[in-house]
Amino acid sequence: MITVLSGGVGAARLLRALSDVIDPSQLTAVVNVGDDLVLHGLTICPDLDTITYTLAGLNNDELGWGLRGETWRVMDELAVLGGEAWFRLGDRDLATHLYRSQRLSDGATKTEVAAELARRHGVTVRLLPVTDDPIATEFLTDAGRLTFQEYFVRHHHNVVVSSIDVVGAERARLSDDVRRALQDAGRVVIAPSNPLISIDPMLRIPGVHEILRERRDDVVAVSPIIQGAALKGPADRLLRELGHEVSTLGVVDFYEGLVGTWIIDEADAALAEAIRSRGVRVEVTTTVMADPVNAERLAKVVLS
């Protein structure tokens, strides 16, 4: 059994690659919910949805988010009405949010809803929101205090961040399922998601940091940084703004004490010795998953 600490797109790709190599039912994704939002009365879980859509083969590669073959009737009309249309929600995607919102108001948990949606889409990887309690990643920036999606979507992460807050994290309870998935897995993988805004919100929930620290030898992390740059998103910029080294080394130090094995990209092979000197194992391979052959190779290294 493998448990993968997961953000959105990068984690979804790794999970897809892993489930091409081993039985998907052997995989559990513990998924960040710090980006979740309530908009138009709807509860939206972007990371859970990205993973579900990707594993179902429904992800929209052109946009990099949402569903393929999507239409925009509702959003177009909402824009005409003068509503808040900056967070684009496709028509089919909206069905997911309507479904989840109704089930939550019926008393279901996010964990139950994630399982229902996965089942409907034929996804057999187990998807567990890291907590059923509300947590919210927020940013102190030169444009004021921003919610996650205000920062990420509305401002296109093009503001200077001075600190990141995860509201509710200290009081959030790890679900029993998540605790077991982290404690009992043969290996815990930290996906190449943004360390500061996808993984760290989960590390801040009481229990997660402690379990990884105890299991350090079984923890494998895939670096999200290649030659000082993130493949996608603001990880590199945020590392710099928050005082970390902008390289794989910066991420290694950020996760200090939690990771037994690092998987870094060939382009960063020169960093391998420096990382090993911190007392961890290092594997060097191609970490870019755009090509299916590379994705499979990476999956095999993660599992080896």
Where on the chain is the footprint of a second copy (CB under 8 A)? 38-43, 71, 73-75, 77-78, 80-84, 91-92, 94-99, 101-102, 104-105, 116-117, 120
Q: 69-76: long-range contacts (C-beta < 8 A, 24 or more apart)?
A: none
Rounded distance, CA 162 to CA 229, Å? Answer: 20
Nearer to a second copy by Cβ, of 81 and 293: the residue is: 81
Q: Considering the complex, what minimum distance in angstroms separates the CB of residue 81 from a second copy?
A: 5
Nearest to 113 by CA among 103, 124, 123: 103
Q: Considering the complex, what minimum distance in angstroms separates the CB of residue 56 from a second copy?
A: 12
Residue owning tokens 């943004």: 194
SS3 assignment, position 189 = strand
Q: Considering the complex, what minimum distance in angstroms separates the CB of residue 102 from a second copy?
A: 5
Nearer to a second copy by Cβ, of 95 and 290: the residue is: 95
Q: Considering the complex, what minimum distance in angstroms separates the CB of residue 96 from a second copy?
A: 7
Nearer to a second copy by Cβ, of 17 and 117: the residue is: 117
Rounded distance, CA 177 to CA 187, Å? Answer: 16
Nearer to a second copy by Cβ, of 79 and 288: the residue is: 79
Other Cβ atoms less than 10 A from the Cβ of 239: the count is 23
Rounded distance, CA 192 to CA 222, Å? Answer: 5
Phi and psi at residue 31, to the nearest 5°:
-110, 135
Rounded distance, CA 52 to CA 73, Å? Answer: 23
Q: Considering the complex, what minimum distance in angstroms separates the CB of residue 110 from a second copy?
A: 14
Q: Considering the complex, what minimum distance in angstroms separates the CB of residue 29 from a second copy?
A: 20
Nearer to a second copy by Cβ, of 96 and 193: the residue is: 96
Nearer to a second copy by Cβ, of 13 and 100: the residue is: 100
Rounded distance, CA 84 to CA 66, Å? Answer: 18
Nearer to a second copy by Cβ, of 99 and 167: the residue is: 99
Helices (H), strands (E): how many in the chain? 13, 14
- Sheet containing 187-190: give its strands across: 126-129, 27-31, 2-6, 187-190, 219-222, 261-265, 281-285
